[in-house]
Structures are given as C-alpha cells and as structure tokens.
Structure 1
Amino acid sequence: MKKFGKLIAEKRVLVLIISVLLLIPSFWGMAKTKVNYDMLEYLPKNLDSMKGQEILDKKFSNAANSMLIIENMESKDVLKLKDNISEISGVEKVIWISDMLDTSIPKEILPEEIKDSFYSKNSTMLIIRYTDSASSEKTQKAIGEIRNITDKQCFLSGASAIVKDTKDLSDKETPFYILIAVILSIIVLALTMESTIIPFIFLISMGFAIMYNMGTNIFLGQVSYVTKSIAAVLQLGVTMDYSIFLLHRYEEEKLKFNDRNEAMGEAIANTITSISGSSLTTIAGFLALCSMQLSLGKDIGIVMAKGVLLGVISTVTILPALILMFDKYIYKFKHKTVLPDFSKTASLVSKKYKVFIAIFLLAFIPAIFGNNHLKVYYNLDKSLPENLPSIIATNKLKEDYNMTTTHFALVNDDVPPYKRTEMIKKIEEVDGVDKVLGYDKFVGAAIPESFVPNDIKDLFKKGGYNLILVNSKYKSATNEENNQIDEIESIVKSYDKNAMLTGEGVLTKDLVQLADKDFKSSNAISILAIFAIIFAVFQSISIPILLVASIELAILINMSVSFYMGTTVPFIASIVIGCIQLGATVDYAILLTSRFKEELQNGLNKFDAMEKAVKESGKSIATSALTFFGATFGVGMISNLSIIKTLCTMMARGALISMVVIIFILPSILLVCEKLIAVTSRNWRKDSGFKIDKKTAV
C-alpha cells in the first residue's frame, strides 16, 4: 500500500490527467443511461398483475394511453381536434363516440354504458392510444404536441401523462438538488474545517467520483428517477468522511516526513487500511436493498454501493493529487472552526452515564410506538404536486367519470360469450363497482356482432383475450379496494383459471404486500451484514450488538418523528431509510468504539478512556454528520417530488439523530457493558495490532 501511495503522490499530474480524460466516457454514459419514471415497472415480472400489464401493452396497446377530457366544446370542434391529434407522430389512434355512432344522434338516447363512458355533464372524453410505451421518447414527445394543440378546457390524464410530468419536474429540479447540496456542504465544511480552500478541493474530488458513478450506470441499462435524483447528494454526504480522514492523516504524516510525497504516500496507505472497514459497512447497507423483491431497491442499492466504492478510489487517488497541487493555498487561508472541543461533552457523558443509559432504555418506548404507527401511502400519484396538469386531469377523471380506479380483467377467448356475460353481471354486483365495460356489453340480440365497429373490437378483443374494464368507486391502497379486488379476482378465476386482473388498484395491492416483506428482509440483511463486518473489525460478539442497537434506536426515533409530526410517508421511505441510515452512520459508532478501545489499551481506566474518546472523536463525528445533513437537508426543502422530499428530509434528520445518539448514548452503553465486552471480545484491553488514528476519523 505504501508503494501505491507513493506512486500516486509522485505521479499526481498524470493521475489528474487520467481523471479528467475519464470524464469523457462518464459524460457519454450519463447521457446514454435511460431513466425510468414509472415506479410500477419495478414490481416483479412474475406477478399476474404485471403479466396482465404486459398483455395490455403488447396486445391491446393499453398500457400506453391517455384520457383527454374536453369541457364546453361542440361536437364538430371535438371531431376536428380528434383528427388533429390522430395525425401526431406517436399516436396510434384516438377513440371517441364518433367511432361507434353518428355525432348528430342526441347523447340522451344513447345506451347508458356508452353515454357514461364518453360524456359527463358539460364534458366529453377521448381515449388516446400511443404506438410506444408510456415512458418512451416518442410517446413523451406526442404528449407534448397534444398539449400544444389543446387549450385550457382540455385535460390530459393517464399513466403516460403522469410519466411526462414526473420526467419534466424531475429533470428540472435535479440540477438544483446538486447545486444546493454543494452550497450547503461548502458552508458546513468551511465552518467545521480549518481551511477555507479545502471544501472546494473535497468537492472537486467528490465531483469526479459522482460523475464516474453516473456514467457507469449505463451498464445497468436504466435507473429510476428516484435514484437519479438522490444518488449524487447521497454519495456526497456518505463518502465525505473519507476525504476528511485523508487530509487529517496527511497533516500528521507531514510532521514526520520532510518530503511531501513521502508524507502523502504514507497517508494514502494508512487511509486505505483505516477506511476499508467503514466503507464496507456503508456498502453493505446499500447492497441489503438488493434483497428487495421490488427492484427499485436493487436500483438504488447497486448505484449507491458503486458510488461508495468510487468515492473511496477517488479519495486515495484524485484527492491526494489535488491536495499536493494546492498544498500551499490550503494552509494560506486558515481559520478557527465553529465546533467546540467537546471536552465538556466528554466529561458530561462519562460522569452522567447512568442518566444516559436510562434515556437509552426509555427512548425505545415512544420510538417503537411511533415507528409501528407511522402511516405510509402507496398511491404513487400522491407523491406528485396537486398542481401538475396530469394530476389535475386525473382528479377530474375520477370526479366527473367516477374513474377513481379502473381494473382490467383479461379473460381467454375460449370462454363462451354467455359465460362472459354472466361473469360481467356478477362483477357488477360487487360492492363499490360503478360500471363494467366489455365486448359482450355491445353485442346481443339487439346489436349483431357484425354491426360492432372494428375500433370497439380492437378495444376489447385482441390476441386471444377479452378485455373487461371495471370502474371502481374506491381509491387504491384502501381496505375496501383490496377486498373488492379479491372478490372480482375470485369471480374471474372461477370462469377462467388463467385469467389475469391488473390495473392501478391491483398493482398497488401487490405493492403493499411486497413492501411489507421487503421492509423486513432488507433491514434484517443490512443488520446481519453490518454485524458481520463489525464482528470482523473488533473480533467481538457483544460490540456488534451494542453498536447496531444504538443505531437502530436512532433509526426508530427518526421514523417515529414523522408519526408524531402527523406526516404520512411514501412506502419506499419506510423500506430504504433503515438500510441507508444504518450503513451511513454506523461509521460514527465504529470510530468512537475504536478510540475507546485504543485508550483502554494505553492504560486508562474506562471512564478516562471514554472521556478522551468522546473528546477526540467528537469533532470528526460532528463534521461528518453535519456534512451529510447539509447535502440532504436542502434537497428536502426545495423538492416538489414527495418521494425525494421525504427521503432527503429523513436522511438529513437521521444523520443528526445518529450523531446525538453516538456522542451521548453510545458512551453510556459501552461504559455499562465494558466488562461484558472484555469477556466477549478478543484483545479488548490488550493491543492486537489494530489502531485508529488519534487525530483523525472515518
């Protein structure tokens, strides 16, 4: 490692040239990486609801459609608008009442099902089908053109329109996320570090790592908009520790070596050894998300684990080169920091440890209660601002056409028509069903099959399947809706065991069931993985339990704060926050415990050892936590996307809570359990060769 460190120091110009050149493929990869704005696509493909979505997309082109509500417009003008929309590239067809009947026929004498499907009060509805998927560039462009040729009396809704608005809002806000994260990180570092220049050097170094991470996402094919939005700020907040450690180590080595290259080489070697354990815990926390059945977890987990690894590589290659290049300027602009020396804090936690252990035990009661009663929402459109055009249109669709949610039943063509008619009648009797539309509603003794227009046939019969639309009065993710889905599915399966039920309500029901399993599995795996790493670092059975318990308290407090504030959080936050907070902040606990162990091995009694450990590591823990807070807090304040806003707010809050727990609560736990630790740990008081630097931190 020393040879590697010295090589980096001596070849610093070459290192920077290579680093800059690597930005070229990174920019290319970033530009070519697709972004997925449809969260439901992350459900497992083996679910019946997802198989149904695939059939709707491939056979019926129904997964990519929009409903256009037009208010106070004469039929002739609606027809003209319909024709104009039909000519737009990316639009397959536009369906309206004119495809079935002459528009001169008064709507009052139309069959009830047809009239209610296309008319409501002073409005009418057009169904627009697209040639490509909802999130495709062609469909998104078509939606933009449709909006250009329609006016304020027209409202475009549906999954495709929601994807368009999500994309536009996310793309507009993401650069501001990075900007505010950088500004707040600079402010925090400028106040907590002794040099005015060093925050900029740190951020330049991290900027390289962030660009490499975003560029290498091309190997994944695509990333979610959630990952794209938070990856840069999260990587910045999580990996800044390593930069702080390298600088402090370099400053110490300079006192031992006259040659700067020798000092930096030694600093690099020691940094690699020291941050390997802490980076592994962070990587483990993120990789635990890959265990989720909802593949959004895998998306976030892989990107962030990769980001941490690249952050480590950048810290021991690019950052040393930059520090050596700007060495004289770093120390030219020095100032005092605003952080206290933590001597009073250290004395307090060492002397009043019984009080803090009582607080630790008592804090679990409200924390567990709040966490267990935290309200979570699964309606994905709820994560978007109410003033978005697609959300306004979706709400209008629900109010005017009673299309709160729509279920799609796919039944095999082999089921006889009379059986399908019987099935539709049973579905109509289910509580909360507003109306049912199917091909067999349009044919019968009064209307021969030959009279049914091809557009209607294509809408309901295609590829060996019959499509039945069930409009529900209930909202998705409610008990009423879920019970309704179970009853409809039971009816449909009794006529065709291979039938599939899909749609927003069904997909959301699957999402609820998966989320509960994912929450348990991802948290269990992250705890076990981090437990194993801490066990390897300290060669102890008790220390991993104590450290993880302290961070778990911080996580529970973080989650419970949302409950006590009356906040309902998106389901994804309840799943990923635990893994992220555990992986990102357990470093603080490792640092404090390592320093405590070292001081015990230096011959101090446990109280003096803890006092010194808190005093010496407090600044490093505070700097790291405040940087993490700064990188995420600003994003939480400015984001209009509820998922991003909630995730970043909870991560920022979690960093501060973890900091407080580690500085005030963990010392009391370690002091009370010190005898137990000595019995269950190898070389606890005897020097085992493992050292943590006295002046630096991870």
Structure 2
Amino acid sequence: MEKLISGILAHRRAVVAAFVALAAVCAAMIPLVKVNYDMVDYLPPEAQSTEAVRIMAEEFDQAVPNATVLVHDVDVPGALALKDAIASVPGVDSVLWLDDVADLAAPLETLPAATVEPYYRDGAALFQVSVAEGEEGPAVSALRAIADGAGPGNAVAGEAMDTAQMQASMVDQVLKAVAIVVPIIVLLLVLSTLSWIEPVLFLAAIGVSILINMGTNLLLGGVSFVTFSVSPILQLAVSLDYAIFLLHAFAAERHRGGTVEEAMARAMRSSASTIAASATTTLFGFAALAFMQFQIGADLGLNLVKGIALSFVTVMVFLPALTLCLCRVIDRTTHRRLMPSFAGIGGPLAKVRVPALALVAVLAVPAFLGQGSVVFTYQNNVADATLRAGADTLMVEDEFGRQNAAVVLVPRGDVGAEEALARDLESLDAVTGVMAYATTVGAAIPPGFLDEGVVGQFYSDDHARLIAYLDTPLEGDAAFAAVQEVEDAAARHYGEFYVAGQSANLYDMKQVVAVDNVTVSLVAVIAIFLVVAVTFRSLGLPVALLLAIECGIWINLAIPYFTGTEVNFIGYLVINTVQLGATIDYAILLTTHYLRHRRREPARPAMRAALGEAFPSLLVSAGILATAGFALAVSSSIGAVASLGLLLGRGALISLAMVTCFLPALLVYGDGAIRLTTWRSGFWRPGAGGAGTSAPAAAADAAGLAPAAAPGLASADARAARPPAAAPSHPDEGDAS
C-alpha cells in the first residue's frame, strides 16, 4: 500500500489527467448505452407472461399491437391508403385494420357491428400497429406525422407511445434533477467545510466516478430506465461522505505538521479502512437487490454496487492527486466556520428521548402492518391531458374504448377447444371482443385455403393465438380480475396455456412483489447485521442500530397506507434496501462517537457528547440524501422514479430523526445489555478510576480516534471534536502554525 500511495502522490498530475481522460471517454459512451423501457424483460423467466412473450417472438411473425392510430373523417378507401402509409414507416412491423378481419367487398352495413366497430365507426378509423422494440421514438414521430397530415384532431396512443415519451424526456429529467441537487449540495458543503473550493473537489471526485459508472454500462449491454434515472443521483448522495472524510482527515494531518505530501499519505492510510468499511455497509444493502425475482432490482443493484466501488477508487486515488494539485487554491479560499457547532444539541435531544421511545413503541406495530398493506401502482405513465401523449390516449379511449389486449396462447390442433375457448372469452363481462381464427375466419374453413399472412396472425406451427380485448384499465382490481377470468377460461379447455398483454404482465409483477419484499429485506438485514456485529464486536449493538433504521423504514412505507396514497411497486421494493443501506451509516457514526465517550464516562453524558460531535455530519449527510430524493420526485414524470425519489427523500429525514432521537434511547436504556453482549466493551463504571478500556483502546481514545474498524460515513467527521486545521500557504511547506 505504501508504494501505491507514494506512486499516486508522486505522479499526481498524471493520475489526474488519466482520470479526466477516462471520464471524458465514458461521458462520450453514455449516449450509446441502451436504456430498456420494457419492464416485461425483467420479469422472472418462469413467469407466464414472460414465456408467452418468448413464444410469440419466436413463432409468430406478427407481434401484438402496441400502438393505435386514430384518424377522423376518412372513408374506407382512404383508410386503406393510410394503412399502407403506416405499414411503410420504418420500425412498424405490422398494421391491423378492418380488412384483416372482414371482407370489405361486402357493404359495411351487412357486417356484424361487433366486427366493424373496434376498427371503424362514425367515419373514424382506428389502426392497431405493432412497433418494433427499440424503434418507438422515431416510429411514433412518423406515425404522428401521418395522423396530423390526414387532418386535425387525430391521435397516436398505446404502449409504444408511452415508451417514446419516456425516451424523449429521460435525459432532460436527469439533467433537471442534477440542476436541483447540485446547488443545494454545494450550499450544504460550503456550510460544513472551511474552504470555498472543497465542495468543488468533492463533486469532482464523485462526478468522475459517476461518469465512469454510466459510461461503462455500455459493457453490460444496457440498463433499465430506473437505473439510468436513479443511479447517478443516488451514487452522488451516498458516496459524497467518502470524499468529505478524506479531505477532513487531510486537514487534521496538516495540523500535525510535515509536508502536504506526508499529510496526504497519512490521511490516505488512516482513512482507507474506515471509508472501505462504510462503503461495504452500503454495498451489502444495494447488493441485496440482486435477490429480487423482478430483475430490475438486480439491474439497479449491480449498477449501484459498481458505482460505490468506483467512488471508493476515485476518492482514494483521484481525489488525493487532485487535492495536492490544487492545494494552493484551497489555502487561498479558506473561510471561517459557517455552520453552528451544535455542541450543546445533546441536551435538548435528551429531553425527547423518552417521548421518542414511547412514540416509536406505539407506532412500530401499526407501521409494520400498514407498510405491508400499501396499495401499489404498476404503470409508469398516467395519461396527462395537458400533454399531447395524454390527450391522444384519452381521445382514443373516449371514442373506441380502452385498448387493453390479453393474448392467450394455447397448443394448436384442437379446433373445437379453440372455438369453445373463444366463445367463453366472449361471454366475459370485461371482454368487448375476441380475435381468433374460429370466430374471425370460421372454424369450418381450413387454414390451407387462406393466405399465409392471414393464417399467421392466428397460428404458428405449435400454438394458436387468441386476442381478447378488455374494457378495463391496464391495472387495478378490475383489470387483474379480468386477467384471472381469462386464465380460468383457458384452464377449462387446456392443460397448458400462456397469457400475455400489458394487464397480464402487470398481474405477474403483482405476484412477485410480496415475495421479493420479504426476501430482499431479509437478505439486507442479515448482511448488514453481520457487518455491524463484526465492526463493533457486539450482538446487542447491531440489534439496536437495525431496529432504529428498520422502524424508520416501516414508518416511511406506512405513510402511503394511512394517507390512502398509492405507491409505485418498484419504488416500494427498492426503498427498503436503499434506505437501509444508505442510512445505516448514520447510526454507525453516532454509535462510534458514543462508544468512545462511553469508555470514559456514564451513558447519559457520553450520549450528549456524541450527539454534539456527530449531529453536524448527520445533518449534512441526511440533507444531501433527502435533497437527492426530493429532486427525483419533482423532476421525473416516470412513476417508478418519482415514487422512489419521494420515499428516499422522506426516508432520509425519518432516519435522521430515528438516529438522533430514538437510537440514543436504545443505547442509553439498553446500556447494560449492550455492555454484556459486546466483547471487551471497556465501558466506564463507577469506581473504575478511569477509562475502562484496555491500554491500546485507551491510547486510541486519547488520540481522539474512532475504532479502526468502525465504518466512517462521516465517522471522519469526528472532525467536530478537532480544532480546524491551519492550512499551509504553499503545498511544499509544513504546517504554518
């Protein structure tokens, strides 16, 4: 390690140039990273709708329509011409209209209304369009151009349009979130540092790691839209503390004397283990997302784990080199301490200790039960009539009803069973029409007598495809009940069948939510329990720390239940581990300070001193995380991202309250149990004559150091107990003081 530190500091300009060049290359790679907007791709492979999608992709040439084009004031010849124009759009795989299900040589008045009206009514034509995955943006733009060219008041709607809308707004929304987050973070950092330039160094170090993380996603083949939106903001919020720790350790080492290179080398050695331990705690929380059946969790978790690892590298390699290169600038931009010391905050907080303990005891059980009964939403887009996309969707629904298709795949061969299933589906209250060979063409007509293009809509070599059109929203009790009825109908006639479609996909997502939530939470809690237990060599402390954070999570997730608010299921699943992984360091920081003082004095004064030292760091860290969360909530129109942002912002503030009010009560009133379950606790006891620690621990305490193994979110922010460093005026000089 000594050679590595020496090499970094000796070649600091080359190190800075290398990281800047790598960040620039990765920034150029970001636009090339594929962003996946299709949540179906992240369903478990064994999910019924996933298998149905796979079969259709492999066996059927014509995909299920995912867009609709509505054109008013058009006759049948004009509609057929528009159909040809739509079919010629790059990215459009197929177009379905009335001529595909009826013989237009006959007058429309002689055709069944149930056949005609889903496609043509009152002079308006509705085309069912299949847009290829990945082509939604340009294809929808071209479809809108055709619709608008046919006259005013026409519309394009459907899943492909929703995806195109997300694609068009994704980058703008991320930039908007950054524009909100960065100024507030800079303000918080300016208040908590002693140099105007230090916040720039913090953001530069983490910013470089974010660019590298986002660019290297190209090597993974792409990321989900949730990861693309959330990961950079979350990485910034949770890893800034690593940079804060290193630079404050550097300031403390400069105060001890020697050259700036020697001070930085000592700071790197002393901070490496604590930053690594803090990062490890967060990593375990994020890594638990990989245990979700819904693989969007693994996608986000892997990206966050990679981001935290890169942040650790940039803080330990790039930031020291950059700091030494700009040392003169740091010295010339020092300012007085702007944030109050909060040294006496322990007194007022001691008065709320018992009320906090009683309040959490009363809320814990209802909160735990309430967070398990939250009503979820599963879509990411809700029609907004103020936007073109929302207005078009509502127009199509008003004139032709909801375009909600459920696709049923059954084994091919038994025409009688197929016809019986089609009739059963038509009899369901929620079904407005069924498109099947037996009902559209006629079971009596052999497929060999028809054009392959017609037959291919209904049959592959192994499967028959029926499409039931549901008059329900895409999600909710009515939609999921309708999907269940469709599955029940298929089960009466076939032992093997598959159901797909937007509602069927969302129904499958609903099935995995409860299992995923329990699994991921359990994995995260066990992993972090072990890390904290090893760190503090205690069984009682991890129980207290996890109880404080978990109660905060339960309260956070129960608020939507008690206020009657719906929560996007992705935000609900992810926040459990993200809030735990991101805020457990708050509890670790306070506990680290408390244990150091507890070796010298009773529990109550030890806690007052610990709160006075740790509160500024807790306030800044929670403020940064809350700002990041609320910025995502207000900047994103995507349901999953906005919901996660709101939960994250609120969760950070709740965790701050739990750590400063509830955790102190657990540590003080559980002091005896903690002492008995902590190996070589060394707690001060009356009559001991001094600190109850062993000689090495006492020496460490005397030096004002936290335990070497303790994670250091801002545990470096034991800086509150140290005098500010007097910075040398030249990078090669020793301490000027």
- Shared topology, TM-score over 0.5? yes
Cα distance between partner residues in 2 of 1:400 and 1:257: 79
Does the 8 Å CA contact 2:34/2:222 hold for their aligned counterparts? yes
Partner of 1:468: 466
Q: Residue 90 of structure 1 aligns to which amino acid in structure 2?
A: G
Cα distance between partner residues in 1 of 2:145 and 2:399: 24
Partner of 1:676: 673
Partner of 1:409: 408
Pair 1:207–1:457, CA change in 2 (3 A): same
Q: Deviations over 1:213-258 (max 9, x none)?
A: 1122123211011110111111000001111111111111111132
Partner of 2:483: 485
Pair 1:477–1:161, CA change in 2 (3 A): closer
1:307 aligns with 2:302: no
1:696 aligns with 2:712: no
Q: What TM-score results when the alignment is normalised by the length of structure 2?
A: 0.88
Q: How many residues align?
A: 691
Partner of 1:124: 125
Pair 1:442–1:323, CA change in 2 (3 A): same
Cα distance between partner residues in 1 of 2:232 and 2:205: 13
Cα distance between partner residues in 2 of 1:356 and 1:95: 63
Of 405-414 and 326-335, the range deviating more from structure 2: 326-335
Pair 1:674–1:211, CA change in 2 (3 A): same
Does the 8 Å CA contact 2:101/2:115 hold for their aligned counterparts? no
Cα distance between partner residues in 2 of 1:527 and 1:445: 58
Q: Deviations over 1:80-126 (max 9, x none)?
A: 32222222233334332245656575433212332133124442211
Does the 8 Å CA contact 1:100/1:452 hold for their aligned counterparts? no
Partner of 2:649: 652
Cα distance between partner residues in 1 of 2:36 and 2:393: 21
Of 344-353 and 314-323, the range deviating more from structure 2: 344-353
In the TM superposition, residue 56 of structure 1 has moved relative to its aligned partner by: 2.5
Pair 1:68–1:219, CA change in 2 (3 A): same
Partner of 1:162: 162
Partner of 2:75: 74
1:630 aligns with 2:624: no
Cα distance between partner residues in 1 of 2:667 and 2:268: 31
Q: Residue 381 of structure 2 aligns to which amino acid in structure 1?
A: D
Cα distance between partner residues in 2 of 1:377 and 1:658: 25
Does the 8 Å CA contact 2:202/2:243 hold for their aligned counterparts? yes
Q: Residue 81 of structure 1 aligns to which amino acid in structure 2?
A: L
Partner of 1:335: 335
Pair 1:44–1:388, CA change in 2 (3 A): farther
Partner of 1:437: 435
SS in 2 for 1:684: coil
Does the 8 Å CA contact 1:581/1:651 hold for their aligned counterparts? yes
Of 288-297 and 173-182, the range deviating more from structure 2: 173-182
Within a 5 Å distance, the mapping from 1:611-630 to structure 2 comes to: 611-630=608-627
Pair 1:490–1:104, CA change in 2 (3 A): closer
Of 559-568 and 260-269, the range deviating more from structure 2: 559-568
Partner of 2:33: 33
Pair 1:451–1:694, CA change in 2 (3 A): closer
Cα distance between partner residues in 2 of 1:173 and 1:281: 30
Does the 8 Å CA contact 1:113/1:437 hold for their aligned counterparts? no
Within a 5 Å distance, the mapping from 1:481-520 to structure 2 comes to: 481-520=479-518
Q: Deviations over 1:167-214 (max 9, x none)?
A: 112133222222322222112212332322111111111111001111
Q: Deviations over 1:549-573 (max 9, x none)?
A: 0011221222233344443110011
SS in 1 for 2:407: strand
Of 249-258 and 77-86, the range deviating more from structure 2: 77-86
Partner of 1:368: 368
Partner of 1:203: 203
Within a 5 Å distance, the mapping from 1:420-435 to structure 2 comes to: 420-435=418-433
Q: Deviations over 1:336-393 (max 9, x none)?
A: 45533223321223465333322332342553354244322123433x6454544444
In the TM superposition, residue 622 of structure 1 has moved relative to its aligned partner by: 1.1
Of 243-252 and 94-103, the range deviating more from structure 2: 94-103
Cα distance between partner residues in 1 of 2:403 and 2:261: 68
SS in 2 for 1:195: coil
In the TM superposition, residue 440 of structure 1 has moved relative to its aligned partner by: 0.9
Does the 8 Å CA contact 2:213/2:310 hold for their aligned counterparts? yes
Does the 8 Å CA contact 1:53/1:63 hold for their aligned counterparts? no
In the TM superposition, residue 527 of structure 1 has moved relative to its aligned partner by: 0.7
Cα distance between partner residues in 2 of 1:89 and 1:668: 65
Cα distance between partner residues in 1 of 2:96 and 2:566: 39
SS in 1 for 2:117: helix
Does the 8 Å CA contact 2:405/2:502 hold for their aligned counterparts? yes
> Please, which runs of 5 or more residues in structure 1 have no aligned partner?
none
Does the 8 Å CA contact 2:248/2:716 hold for their aligned counterparts? no
Cα distance between partner residues in 1 of 2:429 and 2:100: 32
Cα distance between partner residues in 2 of 1:664 and 1:254: 35
In the TM superposition, residue 521 of structure 1 has moved relative to its aligned partner by: 0.7
Does the 8 Å CA contact 1:99/1:453 hold for their aligned counterparts? no
Partner of 2:56: 56
Does the 8 Å CA contact 1:349/1:664 hold for their aligned counterparts? yes
In the TM superposition, residue 448 of structure 1 has moved relative to its aligned partner by: 7.6
Does the 8 Å CA contact 1:678/1:684 hold for their aligned counterparts? yes
Within a 5 Å distance, the mapping from 1:141-290 to structure 2 comes to: 141-151=138-148, 152-290=152-290
Q: Residue 608 of structure 1 aligns to which amino acid in structure 2?
A: P
Cα distance between partner residues in 2 of 1:143 and 1:595: 58
Cα distance between partner residues in 2 of 1:232 and 1:693: 24
Cα distance between partner residues in 2 of 1:483 and 1:389: 31
Cα distance between partner residues in 2 of 1:444 and 1:210: 59
SS in 2 for 1:344: coil
Does the 8 Å CA contact 1:34/1:221 hold for their aligned counterparts? yes
Q: Residue 21 of structure 2 aligns to which amino acid in structure 1?
A: L
SS in 2 for 1:406: strand
SS in 2 for 1:459: coil
Does the 8 Å CA contact 2:572/2:644 hold for their aligned counterparts? no
SS in 2 for 1:13: helix
Cα distance between partner residues in 2 of 1:665 and 1:309: 31
Does the 8 Å CA contact 1:118/1:126 hold for their aligned counterparts? yes
Cα distance between partner residues in 2 of 1:155 and 1:451: 37
In the TM superposition, residue 501 of structure 1 has moved relative to its aligned partner by: 1.5
Cα distance between partner residues in 2 of 1:91 and 1:404: 18
Cα distance between partner residues in 2 of 1:170 and 1:676: 51
Cα distance between partner residues in 1 of 2:102 and 2:373: 54
Equivalent of 1:570, from 563, 568, 571?
568
Q: Deviations over 1:424-451 (max 9, x none)?
A: 1222223422222211113348978677
Q: Residue 467 of structure 1 aligns to which amino acid in structure 2?
A: R
Does the 8 Å CA contact 1:3/1:265 hold for their aligned counterparts? no
User: Percent identity at matched positions?
Assistant: 27
In the TM superposition, residue 616 of structure 1 has moved relative to its aligned partner by: 0.9
Q: What TM-score results when the alignment is normalised by the length of structure 1?
A: 0.93
Of 308-317 and 166-175, the range deviating more from structure 2: 166-175
1:606 aligns with 2:603: yes
Q: Deviations over 1:300-337 (max 9, x none)?
A: 00000111111111111111122222223224333345
1:579 aligns with 2:580: no
In the TM superposition, residue 20 of structure 1 has moved relative to its aligned partner by: 1.7
Cα distance between partner residues in 2 of 1:315 and 1:188: 19
Does the 8 Å CA contact 2:48/2:508 hold for their aligned counterparts? no
Of 6-15 and 333-342, the range deviating more from structure 2: 333-342
Does the 8 Å CA contact 1:189/1:627 hold for their aligned counterparts? no
